[in-house]
A and B are shown apart, each in its own frame.
Chain A
Amino acid sequence: MPVWHERTRQWVEAGRLHLVGVTQEQHPERCQLFAQWRQFDWPILHDPINVLATTAVPIFVALDEHGVVRMIGPRADRFEEDFINRTFDPPDVTADALPAPLTISTGEDIASLQQTAEEKNTAIAWRRYADGLALWQTSDIDRAIDAYTRALELSPDDGAARFRLGVCYRLRHDGTNRQPGDFQEAVDAWSAALALDPNQYIWRRRIQQYGPRLDKPYPFYDWVARAQDEIRERGEEPIALAVEPYGAELAAPSRTFIDESLDEVPPASDGRIARDTQQHVRAEVAVVPARVPAGQSVRVHVTFFPSESGAASWHNESEPLRLWVETPNGWQRHAAEQPLEIESSETRRLDFEVQIPADTQSSLRLNAYALYWTCREADGVCAYLRQDLPIEIRVSE
């Protein structure tokens, strides 16, 4: 991408070419940060639900003045001569023969899309209504989830609707309106979509972003810290990220499973540490991918939300948050590094991988627990607490 940005800069500056980007990333501000870092000064559009139905990226498409496709994947050495310097005739098509638009849903259309969905009650009408909400009314993500669910009740094998439903669950997980289990719902929906069409690489990448290293094509967001540093060195403030990438999103691919213990000795094996019965911290687990054959690995994400009820915050002057996982004999695990940020009530995310032995016959449960210090907001009393976290590993047959 940066190569084409540099290569086309002279034509862009001369007004002979316009670059328009489309990104399918879940978190738009990460792409914004990338654009800021690389100093892209052209519009970038956001298609998180992949409504354009691209199957892989990058794709470069050269359009002439009339909107006609002239080159796909243009050769750099022919681009100026074959495209920039050429004058193209208008297409010989009448207006009614033009291809139908790929999206038509803007904010103004949503009410009519809803009406159509309710009147016709077809899968495609519900999906369209959901698409409109997911693209243009992200504050109304509950309605998008409901509409995709309606579409899938009528057409369960619609992979696109399943993928988009997953995008909405993850979006809600990252917002203030999150519901317990949203991240796992997202992973389940993406995994179901990919099972319907294994060649859809936009869907595959969304799972791999959070998945185990054995299944990764590359690290996804390892460039973020460097980008933030270099932007600051230029005297600019980096675009703020809604969710800092962590663990799986930074991890490099690996061809072999690297076995590491989280701790050699269980930190609370006698079970005497008080349980967090008042939910000072709500923790939720997501296993990626949703199902895995025996012999392969999964990435387990544990997200900790302190003080969702305003009751407690992290006590940072004591021991850090710790996670202990009891793996059965023959299992291997690898732990990601703990986050270092020191604040008071931030969401914390830990993830690790386990490899499932090849002779595993059925799904099973791992026992895990977290240990942490929190302080109650009401009276400032701090306590060291334990939360048990059963983790279901679904092994496919």
Chain B
Amino acid sequence: MRILLATMTLAFAAPALPARGDVYRPTVGQPHPDFVLPAIDDRRPVALSSFRGRKVLLVHFASW
């Protein structure tokens, strides 16, 4: 029981980040997980959810 409790506590405390071994995997038909990242120009926090109500094309890219 002690072990179970410890496991449960860890599960609740664990972050919502992809766990080790997890990868980014959006699913068609499912809500996209929200995230907050800094803007490249002024480092202001921008949440994906701040675009709710608008259609968005989310583009993961690099300049190279």
Contacts and interface: CB of A to CB of B under 8 A. Distances in A.
A122 B18 contact: no
- Interface range for B: 35 or more
A235 interface: no
B46 A45 contact: yes
A339 interface: no
A30 B41 CA distance: 11
Nearest to B54: A18
A164 to B, nearest CB: 11
A98 B32 CA distance: 9
A16 B49 contact: no
Given A18-B57, A20-B48, A61-B57, A158 B63 contact: no
Nearest to A36: B41
Contacts of A35: 40
B60 interface: yes
Interface in A258-295: none
A313 to B, nearest CB: 32
A46 B15 contact: no
Contacts of A93: 31
A351 interface: no
Interface string B18-62: 111111101111111111111111010110110111111111111
Contacts, number: 219
Nearest first, the 3 A-B pairs at minimum CB distance are: A100-B16, A34-B63, A45-B37
A53 B62 contact: no
Contact of A16 (B23, B45, B51, B55): B55
Interface residues of A, number: 85
Contacts of B21: 197
B30 A8 contact: no
A54 B24 CA distance: 5
B29 to A, nearest CB: 7
Nearest to A135: B38
Given A53-B23, A55-B24, A46 B40 contact: yes
Interface in A50-87: 51-55, 57-72, 74, 83-84
Given A52-B35, A69-B30, 13 more contacts: A4-B57, A24-B62, A43-B46, A46-B43, A52-B60, A59-B59, A69-B28, A69-B29, A91-B30, A91-B31, A107-B45, A124-B17, A160-B18
A70 B26 CA distance: 10
Contacts of A54: 23-24, 60
